[in-house]
Amino acid sequence: MNTKIRCLLLDDELPGLTYLKMLCEQIDELEVIKAFNSPEMLLNEWQSLDFDLLITDIEMPGINGLQVADAVKGKAIIFTTAYKNFAVDAFDRDAVDYVVKPVKPERLLQAIQKVSVLLAKPRTTPKQIQLNTDKGKALINVSRIFCVITSSIDSRDKMLFLNDASKITVKNISFEKLLEMLPPSEFCRINKKTLLAIKHVQYYSHDEITADIINSDGKNFIFSLSEIYRNDFVKRVKV
């Protein structure tokens, strides 16, 4: 790769974090953007940081590294841990690698090289996604999706609105899973209950988004823009 891999580090134990940071700074391919010793602090800041990779411990008090990985979608993950029994959970989250502590320089370099290969691969944009709906399995053209909103009847279900304002009930799916299926450059979470196709943003302010799709009362769809998703939304809109 011509550019460095920008990474965040997370370990609740300061000696381990300091050692990991030292190892990472010795790898030419890496640029350490920020090191955190608190998962809560990372989750408060990650959307405002420009990075490609998260290297995180797993066993931490409060929020563990697996939960952090669930929140930080679309980024490469390397887990570092003193315990081998988390490997299945780690790779269920599509981790690039799983490095057992104490971390050895050559083992960390091997993991970074895997990230380099992954990031060098061109990402294909899916034209269709398959979803389970209340009427059975459906193939949905990604280009037709306008927004996805949590169902008011059952929060496990989502209402998928198409460009013509028609809607489909998608059964038992999370926003995290939907974001894995959809092109990351084209869709963005804007609040706790809404995922929006960026191309349909007409106007936006500090806390509100007006879309270019008209709803049943003849007015444009308007959505709230929550603080936790604002930085990520603004970055995506400006690309």
The number of distinct structural domains making up the chain is: 2
The kind and range of the H/E element at 44 are helix 39-45
Q: Express each pLDDT in 140-193 by its tens digit.
A: 999 999 999 999 999 999 999 999 889 999 999 999 889 888 988 899 999 999
Q: Using one digit for the tens of pLDDT, what is the confidence trace for 67-81?
A: 998 888 778 999 998
Distance in angstroms (rounded) separating the CA atoms of residues 91 and 105: 22
Is-above-0.75 flag for pTM?
no
**Residue where a domain stops, chosen among 100, 120, 140:** 120
- Which of 94, 120, 146 is the last residue in one of the domains? 120
Q: Are residues 91 and 20 in the same domain?
A: yes
Q: Using CA atoms, how far apart are residues 75 and 184, in angstroms rounded to an integer? A: 10
pLDDT, tens digit, 9 for 90 and up, residues 5-59: 999 999 999 999 999 999 999 999 999 999 999 999 999 999 888 899 999 999 9
Same domain, yes or no: 85 and 153: no
Same-domain status, 92 and 31: yes
Task: Domain of residue 74: give its range.
Answer: 5-120
- Per-position DSSP letters for 169-207, written without gaps between them: EE-S--HHHHHHHS-TTTEEEEETTEEEEGGGEEEE-SS
Find where tokens 């007015």 sit: 219
